[in-house]
Amino acid sequence: MAPGLLWLLGLYGLPLLALVPLSLSQPLSRFGLETVFSGRVANYLEVLQAYGPILGRSLGYAVVATALGLLLAYPLAFAIRFRGGRWQPLLIGLVVLPSLSSYLVRAIAWTSLLGDGGPVLGLVAALGLTGPLDALGVLRDGRLLNTATAVILGLTNNLLPFLVLPLVVAMERIDPRLLEAAADLHAGPWRCFARVVWPLSRPGLAAGILLSLIPAAGDVVNPLFLGGPNERMIANTIENLLLVQMQAPRAAALTLVLMALITLAVLLQLRGRGLEELPLP
Amino acid sequence: MNRIGGLLLGLASALAYGLLYAPVVVMVLFSFNAPRGRFNLRWQGFTLENWRHPLRDAALNEAFLTSLGLALAAALLAVLLGGLMALALGRARLRGGRAIELLLALPLTNPEIVLATALLNLYVGVGLPRGPLTLVLSHSLFCLSYAALTLKARLAGFDPTLELAAQDLGAPPLQAFRRVTLPLLVPGLLAAALLSFSLSFDDYVVSSFTAGEIVTLPLYLAGAFQREISPQIQVLSTLVLLVSAALLVLASPSRQGRR
Angle between helices B182-201 and B132-156 (to 10 degrees): 140
What's residue B259's pLDDT?
38
**Shortest CA distance to B75 belongs to which of B199, B245, B205?**
B199
* pLDDT exceeds 60 at position B1: no
* pLDDT exceeds 80 at position A60: yes
Which pLDDT band holds residue A281 (cuts at 50, 70, 90)?
A: very low
What's the angle, vertex CA B1, arms to CA B18 and CA A91, rounded to 5?
35
Residues 107-136 in B contacting A (C-alpha not used; CB under 8 Å): 107-122, 124-125
* pLDDT exceeds 50 at position B257: no
* pLDDT exceeds 70 at position B135: yes
- Mutation target among B117, B237, B247, B259 for the A interface, most CBs of A within 10 A: B117
pLDDT, one tens digit per residue, over B16-37 is 999 999 999 999 999 999 998 8
d(CA B189, CA B81): 11
Q: Which residues of B touch A14 (CB under 8 A)?
A: 122
Q: Is A94 close to B17, i.e. CB distance below 8 A?
A: yes
Q: Which residues of B touch A109 (CB under 8 A)?
A: 22-24, 26-27, 30
- Mutation target among A104, A153, A173 for the B interface, most CBs of B within 10 A: A104
Residues A68 and A152: beta-carbon distance below 8 Å: yes
Minimum mean pLDDT among A29-33, A136-140, B26-30, B72-76: which range? A29-33
Q: What is the 3-state secondary structure (H, E, C) of chain B?
A: CCHHHHHHHHHHHHHHHHHHHHHHHHHHHHCCECCCCCECCCCCCECCHHHHCCCCCHHHHHHHHHHHHHHHHHHHHHHHHHHHHHHHHHCCCCCCHHHHHHHHHCCCCCCHHHHHHHHHHHHHHHCCCCCHHHHHHHHHHHHHHHHHHHHHHHHHCCCCHHHHHHHHCCCCHHHHHHHHHHHHHHHHHHHHHHHHHHHHHCCCHHHHHHCCCCCCHHHHHHHHHHHCECHHHHHHHHHHHHHHHHHHHHHCHHHHCCC
Identify the CATH number of the domain defined by range B58-229: 1.10.3720.10
Which pLDDT band holds residue B252 (cuts at 50, 70, 90)?
A: low
- A280 versus B66: the higher-pLDDT residue is B66
Give the pLDDT mean for A209-220: 93
Q: Exposed e or buried b for every residue in A168-186, given b needs 16+ CB within 10 A?
A: bbbbeebeeeebeebeeee
Which pLDDT band holds residue B258 (cuts at 50, 70, 90)?
A: very low
Which secondary structure element, helix H or strand E, spans residue A25, and what is its range?
strand A25-27
d(CA B146, CA A279): 11
**Shortest CA distance to A162 belongs to which of A197, A210, A199?**
A210
A40-100+159-275 CATH choice from 3.40.50.1460, 1.10.3720.10, 3.40.50.12280, 3.40.50.150: 1.10.3720.10
Considering only alpha carbons, which residue of chain B is nearest residue A35?
B125
- Mutation target among B2, B19, B20, B33 for the A interface, most CBs of A within 10 A: B20
Considering only alpha carbons, which residue of chain B is nearest residue A75?
B9
**Shortest CA distance to B219 belongs to which of B232, B231, B230, B203?**
B203
* pLDDT exceeds 60 at position A277: no
d(CA B221, CA B217): 6
Residue B258 φ then ψ, to 5° = -120, 140
Q: What is chain A's percent helix, strand, coil content, to nearest 5? A: 75, 5, 20
d(CA A138, CA A133): 5
Distance from the Cα of A124 to chain B's closest Cα (Å) equals: 16
Residues 135-194 in B contacting A (C-alpha not used; CB under 8 Å): 137-138, 140-141, 144-146, 148-150, 153
Query: Domain boundaries in chain B?
Result: 58-229
Q: Chain A contact for B226, CB < 8 A? A: no
pLDDT, one tens digit per residue, over B174-220 is 888 888 878 888 888 888 998 899 999 999 999 999 999 999 999 99
Helix/strand/coil for A140: strand
Considering only alpha carbons, which residue of chain B is nearest residue A59?
B111
Considering only alpha carbons, which residue of chain A is nearest residue B31?
A109
ipTM for this model? 0.89
Percent of chain A at pLDDT exceeding 70 = 96
B80 Cα distance to chain centroid: 16
* pLDDT exceeds 90 at position A70: yes
Q: Chain A contact for B101, CB < 8 A? A: yes
What's residue A36's pLDDT?
85
